[in-house]
Amino acid sequence: MAMAALRRDGRRIAAPLITPHPINPLRSSLASSDREHTLLGVRSISTQVVRNRMKSVRNIQKITKAMKMVAASKLRAIQTKAENSCGLWQPFTALLGDTPSVDVKKNVIVTISSDKGLCGGINSTSVKISRGLHKLNAGPEKECKYVILGEKAKAQLVRDSKKDIELAFTELQKNPLNYTQVAVLADDILKNVEYDALRIVFNKFQSVVAFVPTTSTVLSPEVVEREAEAGGKLGELDSYEIEGGETKSEVLQNLTEFQFSCVMFNAMLENACSEQGARMSAMDSSSRNAGDMLDRLTLTYNRTRQASITTELIEIISGASALEG
């Protein structure tokens, strides 16, 4: 987004200087740059405008390079954590299966996004998928609510789905992510929201340039029992003996809460990795773009400078020849 704005701005300001007819640069530079100076009678053409532009572009390039380094170091730190936690959700999927197409009355979509911007398109992707899931699961007698983590998704979803937002959490990344914080958050959500199915939407980190939008589904214990009776993937659940707790439903309740917190922990780590990776590549293309703009501006600067030198020479020589002849 930053690089698109830079490109647009560059074209707007550089347009009068970089002309479509390079064969008569003299006339164009005389005509466009510094009309106010010609009015005052000053003959030399000022290169000040181009120089200012170059200074600001150079500063932007330095800033984006620094941001890229910062994002790279943060990514390294959080990537090891995410890889270590990837075994956490697998036992639950092995036991309870993966049922994204489950049909329930109360859906809650938990959208995970970042607080800070300049991270490419990952937040827009998450919001698009959330809206898609909302559309898929809306209908008569079915309701679909949002729980939003992160400033960016909140800003986008509050525009058109304000009444569907149950809870919103921001400033989650002030302290490094750890399981206790996520467990408390999960507890908060489970206590305040009625749900039959929770769908968590996040970006899974595949590599520094590839982020895949993913959705994990966590079912409430009543729905789990219903699906187990109905057969299909969860049908084998009845064959499992339950140890501990007084009743099966109590254990299933604990299981659901534990599953939700584990899946959330992994999802938040993966999303944080994707955010840093996306920011790295966005800042990288921004620096490269600033470098290109700087090259173009340097050429224009040199052309303008040479044109003004040539003009002065011509004036001097024509003045001298007028005196002689």
Binding interface with other proteins (CB under 8 A): 81, 84-85, 87-95, 97-101, 128-129, 132-133, 135-136, 179, 201, 204, 206, 212-217, 232-233, 236, 239-245, 251, 254-255, 258, 262, 265
Other CB atoms within 10 Å distance of the CB of residue 127: 23
Nearest-approach distance from CB 170 to other proteins, in angstroms:
23
Q: Please say which residue, 212 or 313, places its beta carbon nearer to other proteins.
A: 212
Structure tokens at 229: 């009776």
Distance CA 48, CA 40 (A): 16
Q: Please say which residue, 34 or 196, places its beta carbon nearer to other proteins.
A: 196
The answer to whether the beta carbons of residues 164 and 138 sit under 8 Å apart is: no
Nearest-approach distance from CB 192 to other proteins, in angstroms:
18
Q: Please say which residue, 22 or 140, places its beta carbon nearer to other proteins.
A: 140
The answer to whether the beta carbons of residues 122 and 278 sit under 8 Å apart is: yes
The answer to whether the beta carbons of residues 174 and 96 sit under 8 Å apart is: no
Q: Please say which residue, 182 or 283, places its beta carbon nearer to other proteins.
A: 182
Nearest-approach distance from CB 66 to other proteins, in angstroms:
30
Q: Going by C-beta distance under 8 Å and a sequence separation of 6 or more, which residues neighbour residue 173?
A: 114, 115, 272
CB-facing half-sphere around the CA of 173: CA atoms within 13 A: 17
Nearest-approach distance from CB 24 to other proteins, in angstroms:
42
Nearest-approach distance from CB 74 to other proteins, in angstroms:
18
Q: Please say which residue, 99 or 107, places its beta carbon nearer to other proteins.
A: 99
- Compute the C-alpha angle 193/122/58, nearest 5°: 135
* Exposed / middle / buried, residue 52 (Cβ in 10 Å: 0-12, 13-18, 19+): exposed
Range list of H helices, 85-206:
90-96, 122-137, 151-160, 179-192
Nearest-approach distance from CB 147 to other proteins, in angstroms:
17
Q: Please say which residue, 236 or 295, places its beta carbon nearer to other proteins.
A: 236
Nearest-approach distance from CB 87 to other proteins, in angstroms:
4
Q: Please say which residue, 98 or 315, places its beta carbon nearer to other proteins.
A: 98
Could you please report the per-residue DSSP string of 186-213? HHHHHHH---SEEEEEEEEEEETTEEEE
